[in-house]
């Protein structure tokens, strides 16, 4: 069986064919339509899948946002504008005539990372730190999605009640502080206006403010991991994302976590997949694996 896997992100759409042994081929991308209207997204998805759909027996979608009963929601409705309640599953079923499954992208990535652990653990959490902070939880070998699709959105737990406003509407979420966007937003003076990538490279050159911004992110993430350990008693936490996998970051998170009481310590691992965990995880879920 071949799965047409689709990844819907805020800036790009990706699609590929995934076979039963998780081999991926014909991967390609399109920019997410800037207008973010249902008509534009439907047309972009149609163009994306057109060269692939004849070779697939089912469709699996990993998407940013909350997936509830096959439709796309957003934690912050302003972010997705006209796409609020976009019927993802229904749209792909009508375009392809194939059975379709949709899941949040971080939940899908968590499932792919869980598989990459090769059965060593049955309880794990995945946290991705990139533009935002996303996550997924596997408990007793099952991916938690929640009745409303919200399970595992650990980036929107509270890190600092006096912290910055988060895009979801809360104040002081982990995402607002630890994410690449959060790191960049807190930069001042010589680093004002720099993106997270630049701030990481300045930290590597010894810039003190840059080092502190990254340390603040790593410390915030370590506290989140202690919270996740306390909530799920997971055996390991897998860290992914462009910030999470940046050189030296995981070591800092480990050092901060070591300062928490021993009950909250948990094994930290770097993600196995760098970019395609969402596509692969969605395909695995569609295969019922």
Residue 181 sits in the site that holds Zn ion (CB under 5 A): no
Residue 74 sits in the site that holds Zn ion (CB under 5 A): no
Residue 170 sits in the site that holds Zn ion (CB under 5 A): yes
Among 166, 203, 226, 243, the residue binding Zn ion under the rule CB under 5 A is 166
What residues contact residue 273 under an 8 Å CB cut-off, 6+ apart? Answer: 109, 112, 113, 116, 240, 280
Using the contact rule CB under 5 A, the part of the chain among 37-45, 121-129, 167-175, 204-212 near Zn ion is: 167-175
Residue 173 sits in the site that holds Zn ion (CB under 5 A): yes
Using the contact rule CB under 5 A, the part of the chain among 107-115, 143-151, 170-178, 217-225 near Zn ion is: 170-178
Of 23, 16, 273, 8, the residue nearest 128 (C-alpha): 273
Using the contact rule CB under 5 A, the part of the chain among 44-52, 110-118, 133-141, 160-168 near Zn ion is: 160-168
Question: At closest approach, how far in Å is the CB of 154 from Zn ion?
Answer: 10
Q: How many residues bind Zn ion (CB under 5 A)?
A: 5
| Cβ closest to Zn ion, residue 165 vs residue 259 | 165
Among 41, 108, 151, 168, the residue binding Zn ion under the rule CB under 5 A is 168
Q: Which residues of this chain interact with Zn ion, rule CB under 5 A?
A: 156, 166, 168, 170, 173
């Amino acid at each position: 069986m071949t799965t047409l896997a689709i990844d819907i992100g805020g800036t790009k759409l990706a699609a590929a064919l995934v076979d039963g042994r998780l081999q991926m081929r014909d991967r390609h991308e399109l920019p997410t339509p800037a207008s973010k209207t249902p008509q534009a997204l439907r047309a972009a998805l149609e163009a994306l899948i057109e060269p692939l759909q004849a070779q697939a027996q089912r469709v699996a979608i990993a998407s940013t946002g909350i997936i509830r009963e096959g439709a796309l929601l957003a934690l912050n409705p302003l972010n997705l504008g006209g796409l609020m309640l976009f019927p993802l599953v229904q749209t792909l079923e009508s375009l392809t005539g194939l059975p379709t499954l949709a899941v949040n992208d971080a939940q899908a990535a968590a499932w792919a990372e869980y598989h990459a652990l090769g059965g060593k653990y049955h309880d794990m959490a995945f946290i991705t730190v990139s533009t935002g902070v996303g996550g997924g939880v596997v408990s007793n070998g099952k991916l938690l999605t929640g009745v409303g699709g919200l399970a595992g959105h650990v980036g929107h737990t509270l890190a600092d009640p006096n912290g910055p406003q988060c895009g979801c509407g809360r104040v002081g979420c982990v995402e607002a502080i630890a994410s690449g966007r959060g790191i960049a937003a807190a930069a001042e003076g010589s680093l004002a206006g720099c993106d997270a990538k630049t701030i990481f490279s300045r930290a590597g050159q010894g810039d003190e403010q840059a080092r502190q911004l990254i340390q603040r992110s790593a410390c915030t993430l370590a506290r989140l991991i202690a919270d996740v350990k306390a909530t799920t008693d997971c055996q390991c936490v897998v860290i992914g994302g462009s910030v999470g996998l940046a050189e030296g970051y995981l070591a800092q998170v480990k050092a901060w976590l070591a300062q928490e009481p021993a009950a909250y310590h948990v094994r930290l691992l770097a993600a196995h997949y760098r970019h395609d965990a969402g596509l692969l995880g969605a395909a695995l879920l569609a295969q019922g694996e």
